[in-house]
Structure formats: C-alpha cells, structure tokens
C-alpha cells in the first residue's frame, strides 16, 4: 500500500560548491558521514550531493510532515551493491515511518544538467481490510 509520494527538482546552481566544503555546516547538517564518504569516492561529488539532496527532499515530501519534524541528515541515500540508490531512515524519520507503518521507501534519482530530479514512494503493508472486504 502506498503511504506517500514525493518528488523534487533541483537546479544545480542552487547547491553552491562552497556549501559542500567540509568546513561548511550545511554539509554535516544535510548529509550523513557515510554519504560524505561515498561522495568522496565519486568522480563528480557535486552531482552526487545534488541528486541526494533532491532525493532527501522527495522522501521528506512522501512523509507529508511538518518542515521542522525531520532533519535531512536522518534520511540517508547510499548506493546498494548494484549501484542503485537505497534509502535508510534514522532518528525521528525512522520513528515517524514506523508509526505510519512504512516498510520501505523506494527512490529514483536522475539528472540532466543543470537539473536533478528525485521521486520517492513510501510503501506500507497491504491494507488487508480493504481487499475484498465490502463492509
């Protein structure tokens, strides 16, 4: 059952290279240590960070939550063993997802410079009461 969907588009010029410097607080407020490490192994860290930023915004929107309820660093998007992006939730994001009955967040990331786009679907267990129940 789909619990929420979210999408985001980001113009590359909105994510300044300077904000991705290790000395900028934005980097640590937005990305996890593992994301920062993974970005460092990429040929184009800026594109990596930009797609992940759009992805985090899309996941946030899938929650339908108040802007102050989840921090972006609680939404982690790393590459799985096949290179596809995979979402892991931490902290309040994990607690909110559990309370909603979410079992998985699907994510798709893409870009065509200067734009980065993300689409997220929050999945819950099937609603067994609706399937075939005519009450």
* 71-77 average pLDDT score: 96
* 36-48 average pLDDT score: 93
Q: Which residues of 3-24 are buried (b: 16+ CB within 10 A; e: fewer)?
A: bbebebebeeeebeeeebeeee
Query: Which residues are within 8 A (CB) of 91 and not within 5 positions of it... i.e. 6 or more apart?
Result: 71, 74
- Put simply, whether the predicted model's pTM sits higher than 0.85 gets the answer yes
pLDDT for the residue numbered 66? 74
pLDDT for the residue numbered 17? 76
- The residue among 10 and 66 whose pLDDT is bigger is 10
What is the per-residue pLDDT across 91-124, written as a single tens digit (0 to 9) for each? Answer: 999 999 999 999 999 999 999 999 999 999 999 9
pLDDT-derived band of residue 128, with 50, 70 and 90 as boundaries? low
Domain borders along the chain are: 2-124
pLDDT for the residue numbered 19? 77
Class of the CATH-defined domain 2-124: alpha beta
Other C-beta atoms within 10 Å of 66: how many?
7
102-112 sheet: strands from edge to edge = 2-11, 115-124, 102-112
């Amino acid at each position: 059952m789909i619990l929420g969907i979210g999408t985001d588009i980001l113009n590359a010029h909105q994510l300044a290279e300077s904000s991705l410097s290790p000395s900028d607080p934005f980097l640590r407020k937005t990305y996890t240590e593992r994301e920062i490490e993974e970005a460092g192994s990429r040929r184009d860290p800026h594109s990596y960070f930009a797609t992940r930023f759009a992805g985090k915004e899309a996941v946030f929107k899938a929650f339908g939550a108040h802007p102050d309820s989840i921090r972006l660093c609680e939404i982690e998007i790393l590459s799985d063993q096949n290179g596809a992006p995979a979402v892991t939730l931490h902290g309040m994001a994990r607690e909110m997802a559990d309370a909603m009955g979410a079992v998985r967040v699907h994510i798709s990331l893409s870009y065509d410079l200067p734009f980065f786009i993300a689409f997220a679907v929050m999945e819950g267990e099937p609603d067994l009461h609706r399937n075939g129940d005519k009450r």
